[in-house]
Amino acid sequence: MFLRTLRSLSERLTTSSSSPVEPGIHDTGSNASAVEDASAEQLDTENQQCAQQTRTTDILDYKRRYNDSLPFVRPPDDVLIVIFLHLRDLRAACEPPALHVPEWVSITWVCHRFRALCLDYPLLWSYIGDYYAAWLREFTERSRPIPLDVDMHVDLHQRQSPSLERVLARQHRMRTLILDGEEFIMTFIVPLLLDSPTPELTTFCLRTHTLSHGSPYFSDEAMYDGAPGRSMSILLDAPCLRSLKLSGRLLAHIDPSSTLLPSSLEEIDIEGCYTAHELHTLLRGVPNIRSFTVRGAKMIIPRSSLTAVRAHAWTPLELPHLCSINIEVASDEHLTDLLLSLVVPSLRLTHLIFSDCDPHSDTAKVTGLLSAIRTLLTRSHGGARFQSLRLSSLVDHFRTADSMDRYCLADSIHMWHSSKTGTDAVTPYRQSTADALVTFKSQHSTYFRPILQMRNLSPFYRRLCEVFSLSDVRTLTIDTELAYSAQGWADIVRPLAGVEEIKFVDRHGRLAAALDALSLTPFVLPTLSRLVMCFGLRTSVTPPPLLEELSGVARTRRKGTERLRIAFEGCPRYLPALDEGLREIADVTWDNVGFFDDGNTEIAGPWLALISGL
């Protein structure tokens, strides 16, 4: 309205100024006309400026409304920071470790706004990886007020050791410290961590590996003897430490008599040879522990190397938060006392591996250990009973500290609370992580793979079934490299009367006798309704004895219209005559796919007819 009024006034003034003037009569009015013309021009200029401001205001208002409806056109700073942090954390973990330039810093080259935002936000610079020396210095300085997360492979920084030392000197700022490297080199890195306390440290991990033949530091055992003495005094000044992971001969072992662990620890993963009383002392100092893992030293530990303890107070260990325990220790007479002292109501995962212990000869010791394990499992796992079982007798291969291959026999029992978990592995020859695992490794290790002979497995596995009260087991898996008689297998599985499904993992064609045991009458496993076969033998002429025994089992257990269900997982298919015979007496599937029924009776079999028709 204001602009319209100004426009009409301007037109009126223009009309009056353009009307004719008689000479000699209105001489005095010419000056007034000039003034009116100047006023009109000024008004026009003001009108144009006002109109321009109005248009600018309208455009800005439109852009503001547009940005409000589409916030990602120009996101605010807090949204950009979240995006930048996500880009920073996208690290290629699958690539081999190497010195590199952090890829996320390229966003600082996009525009002035991105650059200013990144350079002034210390949290973006708080993660330090395997960067070149210049970038290590840049990250250390730009993240100054923020705790550091350090994850480095020290082997890559041998040529820029001053930069590595500069980073490790900031340990008072570190929240996470993860170092990976050859064990001998790490012994010289650890002393750099002992200069000052670490009040912010919550995660401390030293991942070490033995020297390789291609390493410039590879030598004999004398190099290890000349390495500086280990010291874990850094743990004394870490009041907030939550996770501790150590590996290696020179660094992983913690002496509980001289090293006091922080009571705040919730996860411990260490490696080495520990006695029962040492484990008891370690656990007593960490009441808030949630996960406790002691990995063996990849060697059979002789009893003579263990520290003798004359007297130790086996007081009850109240660990209300412990939910996972994984221990591999050499067998000694006090392991039973350790297991009986644990009070762990929240325990859900129990893995116990005993080396230097033959379950078929050390009968008294094994029986005592099994009773202690049963007590431990009864107090934990929510009181639930196990419904899936896997019996395994295999040859365990490992590499010793001096890079020598060794072999020993390992007898294991895997237990699950769910009846389907034990047989639902992604690959037929692998099993899911067991809720409870107990393994005994024989004390006789050899440098050559032993020739497996028939062993009397019945007493050991019969004691297992009796001690653990496995009457509720519904699925059973047998995975063994050992041959045994049909009557012996019948004695083993007879206590498991409630088994409805059994899976055979036959690696070397030695489980035909176990199948033969299922044909014996009176029947063992009377409620058996499904068989799963997993074997890798391949032949194009005759089927293995395993399948011949399978036909006998299916024929013997056929009850009227009820037929045994047989599933083959990861198995080759054999002669059509055998296939036809199996289909007449059982419901057969291959790799969980229904058997092809196309009427083809050629020697190639129905599966080849299907492939040829594609």
Tell me how far apart the alpha carbons of residues 401 and 248 are, in angstroms, rounded to a whole number. Answer: 9
> Residue range 541-553: average pLDDT?
71
Tell me how far apart the alpha carbons of residues 271 and 273 are, in angstroms, rounded to a whole number. Answer: 7
Looking at the 3D structure of the chain, how many domains does it have? 2
Tell me how far apart the alpha carbons of residues 608 and 602 are, in angstroms, rounded to a whole number. Answer: 9
Tell me how far apart the alpha carbons of residues 368 and 109 are, in angstroms, rounded to a whole number. Answer: 68
pLDDT tens digits, residue range 555-565? 888 776 788 88
584 assigned to some structural domain: yes
Phi, psi for residue 267 in degrees, rounded to 5: -140, 130
Cα distances from 84 to residues 107, 108, 114, 350, in angstroms, run 8, 10, 10, 41
**CATH code for the domain in which residue 530 is found:** 3.80.10
497 assigned to some structural domain: yes
Tell me how far apart the alpha carbons of residues 264 and 32 are, in angstroms, rounded to a whole number. Answer: 95
> Residue range 173-182: average pLDDT?
90
Instruction: Identify the domain boundary among 125, 156, 177.
Output: 125
Instruction: Identify the weakest region by mean pLDDT among 14-18, 145-149, 180-184.
Output: 14-18
Instruction: Identify the weakest region by mean pLDDT among 33-47, 533-547, 549-563.
Output: 533-547
Tell me how far apart the alpha carbons of residues 330 and 298 are, in angstroms, rounded to a whole number. Answer: 11
Positive or negative: CA dihedral 537, 540, 544, 547: positive
Helices 363-379 and 458-467: crossing angle in degrees, nearest 10, is: 30
CB burial string 338-349: b at 16+ within 10 A, e below: bbbbbebeebbb
Return the structure tokens found at 215.
């390493």
Neighbour tally for 189: CB within 10 Å: 20
Beta-carbon-side half-sphere exposure of residue 524 (alpha carbons within 13 Å): 20
Return the structure tokens found at 27.
């001489």
Positive or negative: CA dihedral 192, 189, 157, 120: negative
Q: Where is mean pLDDT largest: 188-192, 292-296, 451-455?
A: 292-296
* For residue 461, pLDDT beyond 60: yes
Strand partners, 568: 533, 590
Complete DSSP assignment for 306-368: SPP-S------EE-TT--EEEEEEE--TTHHHHHHHEE-TT--EEEEEEES--TTT-HHHHHH
Phi, psi for residue 548 in degrees, rounded to 5: -65, -40
The answer to whether the CB of 266 falls within 8 A of the CB of 290 is yes
More confident residue, 219 or 320: 320
491 contacts: CB under 8 Å, gap ≥ 6: 458, 462
| pLDDT value of position 290 | 96
585 assigned to some structural domain: yes
Strand partners, 179: 152, 206
Complete DSSP assignment for 462-528: HHHHHHTT-TT--EEEEEES----HHHHHHHHTT-TT--EEEEEESSS--HHHHHHTTSSSPSSTT-
Phi, psi for residue 505 in degrees, rounded to 5: -110, 100
| pLDDT value of position 131 | 92
| pLDDT value of position 169 | 86
Give the residue carrying structure tokens 């002034």.
120
pLDDT tens digits, residue range 75-113? 788 888 888 888 888 775 557 788 888 888 888 888 888
Which DSSP state fits 426? S
* For residue 288, pLDDT beyond 90: yes
pLDDT tens digits, residue range 349-367? 999 988 877 776 667 778 8
Q: What angle do CA 269, 271, 276 make, to 5 degrees?
A: 95
418 assigned to some structural domain: yes
| pLDDT value of position 310 | 55
The mean predicted confidence, pLDDT, of the chain is 75
356 assigned to some structural domain: no
User: Minimal CA–CA distance to 142: which of 177, 115, 111, 180?
Assistant: 115
Instruction: Label residue 292 by pLDDT band (50, 70, 90).
Output: very high
pLDDT tens digits, residue range 375-434? 999 888 877 888 999 988 877 766 655 556 677 778 888 998 888 776 665 455 566 788
31 assigned to some structural domain: no
536 assigned to some structural domain: yes
550 assigned to some structural domain: yes
DSSP collapsed to 3 states, 129-163: CCECHHHHHHHHHHCCCCCEEEEEEHHHHHHHHHH
The answer to whether the CB of 544 falls within 8 A of the CB of 535 is yes
Strand partners, 390: 414, 477
The parent domain of residue 517 ranges over 385-425+460-595
Instruction: Label residue 312 by pLDDT band (50, 70, 90).
Output: confident
